[in-house]
Amino acid sequence: MENSNTLKSGEFLVRETEAKDIFIPEEFDEEQKMIAQTCNDFIQAEVYPNLEQVEKSDRELMKIILKKSGELGLLGISIPEEFGGFGQSFVTQMLVAETIGAGYSFSVSFMAHCGIGTLPIMYYGNQDQRERYVPKLATGEFLGAYCLTEPGAGSDANSGKTNAKLSEDGKHYILNGQKMWITNAGFADTLIVFAKIDNDRVLSAFIVETVYPGVVIGPDEHKMGIKGSSTAQIYFNDVKVPVENLLGKRGEGFRIALSILHMGRLKLGANVIGAAKKAINDSVRYANERKQFGVLISTFGAIKHKLAEQVIRLFASESAVYRVSKDIDLLISELSAGSDHGRAAIEGISHYAVEAAILKVIGSEMLDFIVDEAVQIHGGMGYSAEMAVERGYRDSRINRIFEGTNEINRLLVVDTAMKRALKGDFDLYGEAERLCAGLADITDGKTEGESYFQTRTRYIRNFKKAILICMHFATKNFGKGLINEQEVLNNIAEMMMETYVSESLALRVEKLSTIRGNVSVYKDMLDVNLFETAGIVRSSALEAIASFSSPETYPVLVQAIEKLTRQEYVNVKEARRHIADKLIEDNSYKF
């Protein structure tokens, strides 16, 4: 990325982006809209009518529905045409992930197959492996699963005990071990299995077919939500895996696992948008039907507040999802010149590790908020299994655990950005040093005659300064011990995540203002979002400062943070009502 103008991962902290340079969902072309419509039609026709039966752990029915989606080509969206797929851009892959996200537990099985079940072979496999497996996975002839987690190895994936030893004739690896929480386990044909060869310190990866003798699939787990997806333990008892099924190089498994997790986090960030739009539609339609005290509950200010907050959080999260997706497409295009497309794709995707972790946390918590409020808007009916929001509430909870817990991902947001800066990707520490040298003279930077968007850009610039101040003093105070100060890292992560999403939203609204005439409702979203982000940045910064400052430095730091989180007057109540009124009038999410 030496000569690239594309934003590097984490570089948003020290570099501003112009609205014209980002991609927004309003720019989807006709082909992308058509693909999304096909996905939506499939969910309406094949998924919703079968949800109740699928939720009874009907493995065979889920398998049939997945194969039907394969017949339509939906499983091959990200697969190059030479391997039987459609070779679509990363932006389009994310749009498919979003649309399928409205499919409850089907979306979990679908995403596991298309992503972690297929793409490790597409990205890391050699030509022979790709030719043998990818076309079958792209059409649904084979269904895939991914086997990383073990009973004693969850967040610390590299501590797994599953082992592989080369057979005496050198033709097979003999695989022994146990994997758990494996999505699609009940009907998968191929497994990506991570194991250590002999006494290796790091993992290797293997393609294992479930028909190999010694592969034993356990019964489905009983789960809180996503009941329709098959989740089971898999046991490997002296399984003979052909040596040609080693995926990548020996010892490369941990790198493969991490790269695929980055991809999974990004796709989850898109997937939850579809689920959130479904929950918002259920919320507003119920609010527009339910009467209390002789009037529709959608006329109540408290309900309008809930509906508006649902919309704002979704719209902001969506803005961040498609902003980084386009950055990934640009980087993949750069890296593809003169190199293997599969490797270029996964390098481009996994480069954006900071943003992947942000989207995962922000998205999963956005959806949890939205489905929780959806149940609340439904009142007692929301607690009834008759209503879709009850299923949405249960299904949402896993997203904060999937693809690395949100606790792990929060730490990754800060740690990865700081490591990238130390590598020289961008000048984080120099910027922070310069800023903190003039701490006592810091101002909010307001200038005369600012336009609407210039003022909002200044707010975001100031949030970034608050982050740099906290990073600088935390590093100075704790040194290498900062890695153990998880509470402080969480404070900084919170500031970083909210700032990235707010900036993405601001850029989207600014770009939208050049495409459409009246964007007043979108400005309302931006104003409420920035008002809330300022509060989060302020409280997170003050909490962090209290953890590392002295009685002498505390007042100076607090004063700086107060200046950097100061905002102009905005009537957030009226702004929220404006947003809610549009939603209520449309009776569905049309933003």
Rounded-to-integer distance, Cα 103 and Cα 67, Å: 15
| Residue 150 bridge partners (DSSP) | 153
At residue 221, the pLDDT reads: 93
Residue with tokens 């309900």: 303
Averaged confidence pLDDT in the chain = 95
Closest by alpha carbon to 110, among 58, 157, 75?
A: 75
pLDDT > 90? residue 155: no
Residue that is written with structure tokens 């969206």 in the block: 77
Total count of residues recorded for the chain: 591
Question: What's the rounded mean pLDDT across residues 518-532?
Answer: 97
Per-residue pLDDT, 4: 58
Query: pLDDT tens digits for 233-260?
Result: 999 999 999 999 999 999 999 999 999 9
Give the pLDDT confidence score for residue 173 in this predicted structure: 97
Q: How confident is the model at residue 340 (pLDDT cuts 50, 70, 90)?
A: confident
What does the pLDDT average to over 198-207? 94
The H or E element spanning position 164 is: strand 163-166
pLDDT value, residue 390: 96
Percent of the residues in the chain that have a pLDDT greater than 90, as a whole number: 92
Tokens 């699609």 locate to: 184
Could you read off the pLDDT of 501-514 as tens digits, one per residue? 999 999 999 999 99
Contact 73, 332 (CB under 8 A): no
Q: What is the DSSP letter of 322?
A: H
* pLDDT of res. 5: 73
What pLDDT is stored for residue 342 in this prediction?
86
- Please give the Cα distance from 79 to 88 (Å, whole number): 7
Give 151-160's long-range contacts (Cβ < 8 A, gap of 24+): 151/178, 151/180, 155/404, 155/405, 155/408, 157/194, 157/203, 157/254, 157/257, 158/202, 158/203, 158/254, 160/194, 160/195, 160/196, 160/203
Sign of the CA dihedral running 266, 267, 268, 270: positive
Q: What is the arithmetic mean of pLDDT over 190-219?
A: 96
Beta bridge partners of 175: 164, 239
**Which residues of 310-453 form beta strands (DSSP E)?**
none
Q: Which of 274, 280, 315 is nearest to 107 (CA)?
A: 274
So what's the pLDDT on residue 58? 86
Q: Would you state the pLDDT for residue 541?
A: 97
pLDDT confidence of residue 528: 98
- The β-bridge relationship of strands 163-166 and 190-197 is parallel
Strand partners, 239: 175
- CA angle, 174 as apex, 168 and 178 as ends, to 5°? 160
pLDDT, residue 152, reads: 84
pLDDT exceeds cutoff 80 at 3:
no
Ordered domains of the chain (ranges, CATH): 25-143 (1.10.540.10), 146-247 (2.40.110.10), 253-408 (1.20.140.10), 427-586 (1.20.140.10)
The pLDDT of residue 1 is 45
440 falls in which pLDDT band (50, 70, 90)?
confident
- pLDDT tens digit string along 348-375? 999 999 999 999 999 999 999 999 999 9
pTM given for the model:
0.96
Q: Provide mean pLDDT across the span 114-141.
A: 96
Secondary structure of 2-59 as H, E, C letters: CCCCCCCCCHHHCCCCCHHHCCCHHHCCHHHHHHHHHHHHHHHHHHHHHHHHHCCCCH
Catalytic positions, please? 403
**Tell me, what's the pLDDT at 552?**
87
**Hey, which residues does 183 pair with through a beta bridge?**
231
Dist CA 511 CA 20 (whole Å): 6
pLDDT mean over 100-125: 96
Model pLDDT for residues 273-315, shown as the tens digit of each residue? 999 999 999 999 999 999 999 999 999 999 999 999 999 999 9
Per-residue pLDDT tens for 554-569? 999 999 999 999 999 9
Q: What is the pLDDT of residues 410-439, one digit of tens each?
A: 999 999 999 999 999 999 999 999 999 988
